[in-house]
Amino acid sequence: MRHPAIDAHADTIERYLANPAGFYGAGRLGHLDAARLRETGQNVQVMAVYTPPDRSGDAAYRYAVDFIRAYEAILDAEENRTLDPPWHRILGRADLERACRPGGFGFLLFLEGSSPLRGRLEDLDRFFALGVRGLTLTHNHDNEAARGCFAGGPDAGLTPFGRELVAALEARGMAIDLAHANAATIRDTLGVARGPVIDSHTGLRVFHAGSHPHLRARALGDDEARAIADTGGVVCLDFLPDHLKGPRPAGRRVGLDDLVEVLRHAIDVAGIEGVGLGSDWDGFGGEPVVGLEDAACLPGLVAALDAAGFADDAVAKILGGNLRRALGSVLP
């Protein structure tokens, strides 16, 4: 890869909960593993700790802690120690910069949803001590901090705890992630946050006329994308075909040209400094984007951007430069 590459969201660790060493195997399961990341030269991968909606309170906390143990086992595996250089933990901006140098590699850990915190800032400190450096405030459902994008009922956003949480995240040097948030949660968070905020994996609502209401709710509106970028943050497009494009004729696959089209619109509304990539690898099933079937295909997206006439400095910003700046300004 000719520029440092950062991907803002993958659910891959869940695949290896039972066998962390399998991340280094030759099976090429799912979308992503160590070999495919190395093939592309990708520098940084944000790994998500997803907690299912049927777990709350103590059960959510225990599930997330066990999840992180698998992440630790991947990094501490003998297979990692034999790599040159090995994957390392990104715990601060110095680690991020080291990972973004030629030949550098690192993982950054985010909680996806606030349920494991049990409504307590003490638990945020516990997860910080475990290496978590970012928090997706919600998943699709409500939790103690905020309303998710699929939740019904009255228009509600951050709870009182959620407002405390946003301030606590900024104080600790942890990234605030608005993926899966509903409109009110986005509005409330942007009203409280003082620094950069990101959306780690999303589509854009403008491409979803006629889509199922859940797809429209899951995507960002143009005004929301612009507002996130205005914080100095980054809107990261994911690679789930149904997130990129709404209803399509039968048999019409989403391809790299579609992703490039969505990226162009994101740049139009958020600016070239406000757009990045958050694949959502291993977070979706079904047919992938044609030409972007797994993590090893990332150079194909770079080639598509080149062919579409994107300047080299724009490619550098999309590929990882914008996330490097935004995350680097947040991390301790």
Q: By residue range, what is the domain housing residue 185?
A: 6-330
Under-50 pLDDT residues of the chain: none
pLDDT digits 0-9 by tens, 81-111: 999 999 999 999 999 999 999 989 999 999 9
Tell me whether residue 31 is in a domain: yes
Cβ contacts of 14 within 8 Å, gap of 6 or more: 50, 67, 282
pLDDT digits 0-9 by tens, 133-158: 999 999 988 999 998 878 876 678 99
pLDDT of residue 153: 66
CATH number of 192's domain: 3.20.20.140
Cβ contacts of 32 within 8 Å, gap of 6 or more: 10, 12, 45, 279, 281, 282, 294, 295
pLDDT of residue 216: 87
- Alpha carbon distance 273, 94 (integer Å): 22
Tell me whether residue 1 is in a domain: no
Give the total number of structural domains in the chain: 1
